[in-house]
Amino acid sequence: MNKEEKILEVNNVIYEYRNKYQTVKAVNDFSFDFKRGKFYAIVGKSGSGKTTLLSMLAGLDVPKEGSVRYSGKDTKNIDLDKYRRDDVTVIYQDFNLFPLLTAIENVMYPLHLKGIRDKDAKVTAQKMMESVGLDLSFHKRLPSMLSGGEQQRVAIARALASEASVILADEPTGNLDSENGANIIGLLKELAHTKNYCVIVVTHDLGISSDADQVLSMKDGKLMLEEADKKN
Amino acid sequence: MGKRAELYIMKYGMTNILRNMPKSIALIAAALVLTISICIISQTIFIQRQSLESVYTQYSINVSIMDEFCIDSTNLRISSKYYDIISQNQYDIMEYIKDIKVRSIESRGIRYTFDLNGEEQLTGTVTGLTYLPSDDEFGYSFGMLSGYSESVLLGNEAVCIVPNTMLEKMTGQKEVIFLRQSEFSEFVEYKIVGTHEGKPDDIFCSFSSFNENLSRDEYNIYSFGFLLSNAKYNENVAEILKKYFIEPSISGAVTRKVNELKLPFRYAYVMPKGNLDDVIKPIESDIQKLMIVEPFLFILSVATGFVVSLLSTKNRKAEFAIMRSLGTGKAMVFFEAFFEQFILNLIGILLGIGVFFVIYQSDTVLVLWKVLIFFACYMFGTAISVLNIAMINVMKIMKSNE
């Protein structure tokens, strides 16, 4: 597998929606190629279109114009449910764990969706939890019994369990203290560099951007900073 | 998504049910209370209908045809065509018409012989009947011979009841007698089925046979009546009778001159209902009220299913959004939410049925149909609510974090 392989290609994406008064271009002619093994930070003010872009990368929506291509295939022409199950995974600011499932059951969820047997799913989930620093004592705890940092680790373990190539994170440190936040960013960066994931983090936190291999700045739905020039 | 994933989604639903007991119990209780209400209302309607039915069957109405003033019912001279209306089962409700009483008299010299050799020839009166008259009616005492019942008079067999004295005089075969309209017509063989102690030249035979073989007059019915064995059909019977007879009223007015038999409206029907209306009106009114409430209860079930389901899933939008973002299809998210509601409602309904049968000691399984309808309505309401969940806009929830 080519470490520099383009995994997500965003070409002239426009996404607009109508609110009460006007048509808003949330993403306006955005183009960029995301590669495996890289840790990207997308920064910008609130309303700059970061999350809209993320939702299109995550296959939760498709662009009105332009295209998002995963491994060369336009997301408009693929089964988006399968895409989200197998190829891309999202980590949220408020963790979004299933509140009535234990930590290990949360990690097993994407494996069960793929039809993996309970026993095998459990072994894989255990490995994933270990890889994010959660030992056996955390397995049977409900999310309400975990700290913010621990919950985010479970969310990361769940993302890893899905074996997706692309990890998208929407403000993953937003609800964490600075120490836990730094640990989570460190973990995501390590995953990008050692496990060859394409990690894209949407954030307000400029501290994170200093850890990123590449920072994309957005304003009014447009890619603003010099990284735009880096498009191959 | 494969079979195993679908099974997992069901397991996930069960886990949610078991790990959120207060919510589960509240949903079960809602379904239970509604089920018991449905059962009670259905049971009450059922019982009231049964009592109404029992009242109807206990009340028999003696219908009689009278002259146009509703005074005389014994000397009418009505066309025999009216008998056909009742006897030929033209209407659905004929099974409730019993004891048809038709009487005719032919006294213009019917001749008969009661000896095989034709030696004893007499002229007398023959009466056509559909029933065995009481002793008071003719002042005679009637009896059927063994092997016969009075029902033979309702048919059109050539049977007759002869005077005792005539039977005693017979020397040869004592089973038949020969009757004819006049000395110019052919004798018809009549089977003797009974005797009476009365005038020695009076003979009674079945009306149909009399009308066919012996009567020279179409207007040969002298009295006409029947018993309506189920009062429920009194309106239907009245509708039929109105086509042929005058409806009794204060004015007694009849707008049409000719009835459906193309005969003049000359006779009135009388249906004395006694205090039937006083008895059935309160029951009917109760049933009507309950029948009005019942559909509302089903509509309420749809609304309750919708609201209960909406409330129980209201705080789970993020959960469903994350399911969708992890690649769970819309149909599967709908299935998961619906499955949970289905199981909880089913438990509530089964408990409700159990509680109802234990408390009310009911043996009416009919209420189960109503409960099934209720369940369908309830789940329909649930489905509408759950559909919203499945159609959740994941992006909107993500945006709320921005």
Q: What is the DSSP letter of A60?
A: S
Of B5, B20, B399, the CB nearest to A115: B5
- Per-residue confidence (pLDDT) for residue A167, from 0 to 100: 93
Q: How many CB pairs under 8 A join A and B?
A: 89
Tokens found for residue A29: 């002619």
Q: Does residue B66 register a pLDDT over 90? A: yes
Low-confidence ranges of chain A (pLDDT < 50): 226, 228-232
Q: Does residue B62 register a pLDDT over 90? A: yes
> Buried b vs exposed e over A111-131: b needs ≥16 C-beta within 10 Å?
bbbbebeeeebbebbbebbeb
Cβ of B327 within 8 Å of Cβ of A117? The answer is no
Cβ of B5 within 8 Å of Cβ of A112? The answer is yes
- Per-residue confidence (pLDDT) for residue B254, from 0 to 100: 64
Of A85, A117, A171, the CB nearest to B327: A85
- Per-residue confidence (pLDDT) for residue B118, from 0 to 100: 65
* Residue A46 in contact with partner chain B when CB distance is under 8 A: yes
Quickly list H helices, B156-221.
164-169, 207-209
Place of tokens 């109105």: B242
* pLDDT tens column, B239-276: 989 989 998 876 656 667 888 888 988 899 999 988 88
Instruction: Indicate the SS3 state at residue B73.
Output: coil
Band (pLDDT 50/70/90 cuts) for residue B285 is very high
Tokens found for residue B182: 């006049």
- Per-residue confidence (pLDDT) for residue A57, from 0 to 100: 93
- Per-residue confidence (pLDDT) for residue A230, from 0 to 100: 42
Looking at chain A, how many residues does it have?
Answer: 232
Distance from C-alpha of B260 to C-alpha of B343, rounded to nearest angstrom: 62
Q: Which residue has the higher pLDDT, B402 or B89?
A: B89
For chain B, counts of helices (H) and of strands (E): 12, 10
How far away is chain A from the Cα of B322, in angstroms, using its nearest Cα? 7
Q: Does residue B165 register a pLDDT over 60? A: yes
| CB contacts, 8 Å: B334 with chain A | none
Rounded alpha-carbon distances, angstroms, from residue B149 to A75, B97, B103: 91, 19, 18
How far away is chain B from the Cα of A101, in angstroms, using its nearest Cα? 8
- Per-residue confidence (pLDDT) for residue B401, from 0 to 100: 45
Place of tokens 């997308």: A42
Nearest CA in chain B to A47: B402
What is the ipTM for the molecules in this complex?
0.87
- Per-residue confidence (pLDDT) for residue A19, from 0 to 100: 77
- Per-residue confidence (pLDDT) for residue A232, from 0 to 100: 36
Rounded alpha-carbon distances, angstroms, from residue B12 to A98, A99, B106, B272, B329: 10, 12, 90, 69, 15
* pLDDT tens column, B308-366: 888 877 778 888 888 988 999 888 999 998 999 999 999 999 999 899 888 887 766 77
* Residue A140 in contact with partner chain B when CB distance is under 8 A: no
The answer to whether the predicted template modeling score (pTM) of the entire model surpasses 0.80 is: no
H-run or E-run covering A131: helix A118-131
Q: Does residue B146 register a pLDDT over 60? A: yes
| CB contacts, 8 Å: B401 with chain A | 51, 92-94, 170-171, 174
Neighbours of B119 (CB within 10 A): 10
B-proximal residues of A, 71-90, CB under 8 Å = 81-86, 89-90
Neighbours of B181 (CB within 10 A): 19
- Per-residue confidence (pLDDT) for residue A228, from 0 to 100: 38
- Per-residue confidence (pLDDT) for residue B402, from 0 to 100: 43
| CB contacts, 8 Å: B394 with chain A | 55, 60
